[in-house]
Amino acid sequence: MIRALTTLLIMAAITFAGCMNSGENPHKDDSGDSRLKDGQLIYPEEKEYFKSLEQLTFGGNNAEAYWSFDDDKLVFQATNEEWGASCDQIYVTDVANPAMKEETPKMVSTGDGRTTCSYFLPGDSTILYASTHEGSEDCPPEPDRREDGQYVWPIYSSFDIYVADLDGNIKRKLTDRPGYDAEATVSPTGDKIVFTSTRSGDLELYTMDIDGSDVKQITDELGYDGGAFFSPDGSKLVWRASRPQTAEEKEKYKELLDKGLVTPSEMEIFVSNVDGSNMRQVTDLGKANWAPFFHPSGEKIVFSSNHHADRGYKFNLFMIDLDGNNLKQITYDDTFDAFPVFSNDGDKLVFSSNRNNGGTKETNLFLAEWDEQ
């Protein structure tokens, strides 16, 4: 997250990812206030889509959970000192018995550097993820707070994409170009990977075959393109993008990118065919619209947005048709909901939330039984 990354920092300043790239947690209120009472998980308004809701993790910052092809497992990234992860590492858990309240899940990354954007490959015996471990075994430094107070998101040039087995052994490296390569996801048809790279000098989307060959550039407009996912039939892509318009905005974007930074506070949702043709903007809501994922029908998109909030930190899940019509709100949390991902059978939705965290800054994974009326 970008695909994207996660532990989005909970500050008045805000951040995101859809595969997130820095492992932080976006726009979250420091107070952790919630209309839910202790132990409650579902807001009354959410019963329109959630038949049930289960909390999977209980502490730290957990995000970007993605399903195995058989829907039996989830792979996700977490920062949790009790698990020995001072910045994001990749973990796998069984959906039927997560047991993460009592047990530490299995780490499948190296434990070095920062990792992000994991995803199962066909066969469910291997995963891919992005990591900075070849650059340094230490967690990369967070950017200093800017004098203008604006939140910036680091684009670490040491990120590359790797394939590992479920014992944590790296089997191969899929990218080996200078600059940022991350936010990779896999087509449900099992033949393609989409990812974000700075190899052109800008943050653009690329596709490659499952073995890393036949790399093709998909986007070419100035701005950050990231956190992309395939439609259920593999024919389309959905992603988040910033599009600086004025000369001042463009210059600021380029200046920050030269320093390995972006500002993720203004983004909209875009879709295209898998080859980049028929590209179009779906949302025009303002503020930050990100972490999109296709509805099982392939005709709608779920995503996270703060467009409805008076202040930046309040993010909820929304759903919209591919033509930009029929916007509907799914979650009603008072702080932060993001990274919605449907199971392959369409029966469940996993997402990250600050609900039920006791007023802390913890972000946990939740599993909803989807019940669309």
pLDDT at 143: 87
pLDDT at 151: 81
What is the Cα–Cα distance from 317 to 306, expressed in whole angstroms? 9
pLDDT at 53: 97
pLDDT at 19: 62
* Strand pairing class (225-230; 216-217): unpaired
Task: Count Cβ atoms below 10 Å from residue 84 Cβ, excluding itself.
Answer: 10
Instruction: Return the half-sphere exposure (C-beta side, CA atoms, 13 A cut-off) of residue 47.
Output: 2
From residue 232, give the alpha-carbon distance in Å to each of 187, 190, 356: 8, 11, 32
For residue 180, give the DSSP letter: -
What is the Cα–Cα distance from 117 to 131, expressed in whole angstroms? 9
For residue 81, give the DSSP letter: G
Tens digit of pLDDT per residue, the chain (373 long)?
Answer: 443 333 333 333 333 444 654 444 443 344 445 677 767 899 999 999 999 999 999 999 999 999 999 999 999 999 999 999 999 999 999 999 999 999 999 999 999 999 999 999 999 999 999 999 999 999 999 988 777 777 888 999 999 999 999 999 999 999 999 999 999 999 999 999 999 999 999 999 999 999 999 999 999 999 999 999 999 999 999 999 999 999 999 999 999 999 999 988 899 999 999 999 999 999 999 999 999 999 999 999 999 999 998 875 799 999 999 999 999 999 999 989 999 999 999 999 999 999 999 889 999 999 999 998 6
pLDDT at 313: 74
Tell me the domains of the chain and their CATH numbers.
Answer: 44-370 (2.120.10.30)
For residue 336, give the DSSP letter: B
Task: Count Cβ atoms below 10 Å from residue 348 Cβ, excluding itself.
Answer: 19
pTM for this entry:
0.92
> Quick check: 262 and 155 in contact, CB under 8 A?
yes
pLDDT at 39: 72
